[in-house]
Structure 1
Amino acid sequence: MDGNLNFRHLYYFWVVAKEGGITRAAKRLNLAVQTISTQLAQLEESVGKALFTQQGRRLVLTEPGRLALAYADQIFMLGEQMQEALGEADSARTRLTVGISDSLPKLTAYKLLEATTKLDRQVRLVCYEDQFEALLGDLALHKLDVVLTDRAVDSGTALRVFSHQLFESETIVVGAPVLATLYAGAFPANLNGAPFLLPTRNNALRGKIDEWFDSHAVRPDIVGEFEDNALLNTFGRRGLGLFFAPAALAADIEEQFGARLVGRVPQVREQFYAISNERKIQHPAVEAILSAAHETVLGAA
């Protein structure tokens, strides 16, 4: 294996893999098909591995090719982000790349990000949604500036990332008007047999909810479990079950989902975090998010 990797060859490999073939890659790069083929062959010779194999008329990645593509993705996606960031460096706009955990209520994410729209310097938001662990990996690779989530990073993690608590809120049980009226009464005994939409068991909130049900001898009818909070809220809006929500967002939840209060659950509290690569936040837009969470009604819930 040649120790001197030619990044131009690697870039051609990346484009071929993304485009699904040499002809399409050559068209995108405005190069001859023979040029791409030759440089792919040189890359394979350099790394000492076949990166593609021919299956009929298609090129298919080999196992070493899939591994190389994973690294090339990181290299060239970061390169594209760098070019965008440099292009904006002299403009009046700040770029903020945010990872949003799929378990985070979207209203919470909006309320937190809303603070960035009030800065003197205009912010260009780039938001990605994914699972918690995937977002932490992207943060560690500096693909993201911050991750907004409902859990802190495990203290035993090998990743050099830091959790900053934004706010804590007690929860409430809410439901569509007809359902909320049907299960009005002495709370929480009125919840026995009530249809509920709950987070899946890998969600930080679910264990607290289950413990609360057990401690109050409540036996709900769990009609749905959701990893995606937005989907859970959509089913809740349609009246298919009661659901838990942050008390700090009660007014917004009623306005957006038409969900009415059934009862307050102060024992079940949600925590929300910003996770960054720095112990001390330096990005002005992330500073604005932390300040807003600490100083507004969110922090008082």
Structure 2
Amino acid sequence: MLNYKQLHYFWAVAKAGSIIRASERLNLTPQTLSGQIGLLEEALGVALFLRVGRRLELTETGRLALSYADEVFQIGSELEEALRNRPESRSIQFRVGVDDAVPKSIAYRLLTPAMELAEPVRIVCREDKLARLLVELAIQRLDLVLADRPMPAGTNVKGYSHKLGECGITFFAEPRLAAQFSEKWPGILDVAPLLIPGKEAAVRAPLMRWFDIHQIRPRIVGEFDDSALMQAFGQAGTGIFIAPSVIADEVRREHGAIVIGQTDEVTEQFYAISMERRLTHPAVVAINDAAQKELFGNLYAR
């Protein structure tokens, strides 16, 4: 098992740049520090420093170890601060990663139930690519990841995908753009400019298959990883754009767009990915229950 005291000594020397400076800061003798780092290198079976003249330089392995040590002691400082300063009435911190393929309005509606719990919750949101968020989940810097797909097969992260719901997709256009074309649905997709999600979005592949099945040859003028940016271009009249049908009313209201068509043959799915096989975190349970009973349940109950 890793000796964290020895790791701290290594970290202090690496940050200080020399054993002598680190020993002064730690109030230890240089011999003690040198001996402890030697024991750490022996236990790990690798060299962490190289002596160049009177200086110490990190080896490649040492630089890797330092990056991990930075995270270890940063988390340790955060833990100490949280425990030392936590009043009894302090809110629960709920750390959520949102895959940037998930529409922001969907993320908001999924997370809202967590804010309505009896015990106060403070949500900390991070938006990033799914692969990077899963790494953060694995080292417990996130409690939950919201994504438009389950955890990819072969991912070296132990986690569980909980399906929150799914819905079809709706096509929208700015009114003046729609008025330029006389074709009806879905023929308008053959002639009007179209904005589509980027290649990393889970809905992209089934959408392209749907075009092929219905012999639609769209004139694609833009691809977007960020759905909010795609909707902004759509609102400006750049092209027809899509959004999950569950937020169709919201898109019409906020973007002044009109619905030109809808299909349930292409669906968008949304998942909560956690380290828990059985959901126990109260905020995650609230999100899961509200998504299945209200957000997506109501779509098909209407």
TM-score, with structure 2 as normaliser: 0.81
Which of 185, 190, 193 is the equivalent residue of 2:191? Answer: 193
Which of 138, 162, 165 is the equivalent residue of 1:164? Answer: 162
State the shift of 1:265 in Å: 1.5
State the shift of 1:240 in Å: 1.7
Indicate how the Cα distance of structure 1 residues 171 and 92 shifts in structure 2: closer, same or farther if over 3 A, else same: same
Partner residue in 2 for 1:285: 283
- One-letter code aligned to 1:8: H
SS of residue paired to 2:195? strand
> Percent identity between the aligned chains?
37
SS of residue paired to 1:254? helix
Of 131-140 and 155-164, deviating more is 155-164
Gaps of 5+ in 2: none
Partner residue in 1 for 2:6: 6
Indicate how the Cα distance of structure 1 residues 89 and 42 shifts in structure 2: closer, same or farther if over 3 A, else same: farther
**Contact kept? 1:88, 1:94, Cα under 8 Å:** no
| Residues 37-82 of structure 1, C-alpha deviations (whole Å, 9 max, x = no match) | x69977865536455999xxxx996522431133124312432443
Partner residue in 2 for 1:96: 94
| Residues 258-301 of structure 1, C-alpha deviations (whole Å, 9 max, x = no match) | 33211112111111010111111111111111111112143332
Which of 79, 96, 114 is the equivalent residue of 2:76? Answer: 79
Instruction: Give the Cα–Cα distance (whole angstroms) in 1 for the partners of residues 34 and 260 of structure 2.
Output: 66
| Residues 199-255 of structure 1, C-alpha deviations (whole Å, 9 max, x = no match) | 222321100110111111111111111223233223223222211100100122223
SS of residue paired to 2:296? helix
Which of 114, 117, 120 is the equivalent residue of 1:116? Answer: 114
- One-letter code aligned to 1:286: V
Partner residue in 2 for 1:273: 271
Query: Cα RMSD (Å) of the superposition?
Result: 3.4
Partner residue in 1 for 2:234: 236
Instruction: Give the Cα–Cα distance (whole angstroms) in 2 for the partners of residues 84 and 100 of structure 1.
Output: 26
- One-letter code aligned to 1:66: R
**Contact kept? 1:135, 1:147, Cα under 8 Å:** yes
Of 92-101 and 67-76, deviating more is 67-76
- One-letter code aligned to 2:80: Q
Instruction: Give the Cα–Cα distance (whole angstroms) in 2 for the partners of residues 124 and 52 of structure 1.
Output: 45
- One-letter code aligned to 2:8: R
SS of residue paired to 2:238? coil
SS of residue paired to 1:78? helix
Gaps of 5+ in 1: none
Indicate how the Cα distance of structure 1 residues 124 and 186 shifts in structure 2: closer, same or farther if over 3 A, else same: same
| Higher Cα Rg, which structure | 2
State the shift of 1:95 in Å: 1.0
Of 243-252 and 174-183, deviating more is 174-183
SS of residue paired to 1:296? helix
SS of residue paired to 1:64? helix
Which of 174, 178, 181 is the equivalent residue of 1:180? Answer: 178
Instruction: Give the Cα–Cα distance (whole angstroms) in 1 for the partners of residues 77 and 258 of structure 2.
Output: 46
**Contact kept? 1:116, 1:123, Cα under 8 Å:** yes
Partner residue in 2 for 1:63: 60
Q: State the number of aligned residues.
A: 286
State the shift of 1:32 in Å: 6.7
Instruction: Give the Cα–Cα distance (whole angstroms) in 2 for the partners of residues 153 and 279 of structure 1.
Output: 13
Indicate how the Cα distance of structure 1 residues 189 and 4 shifts in structure 2: closer, same or farther if over 3 A, else same: closer
- One-letter code aligned to 1:199: P
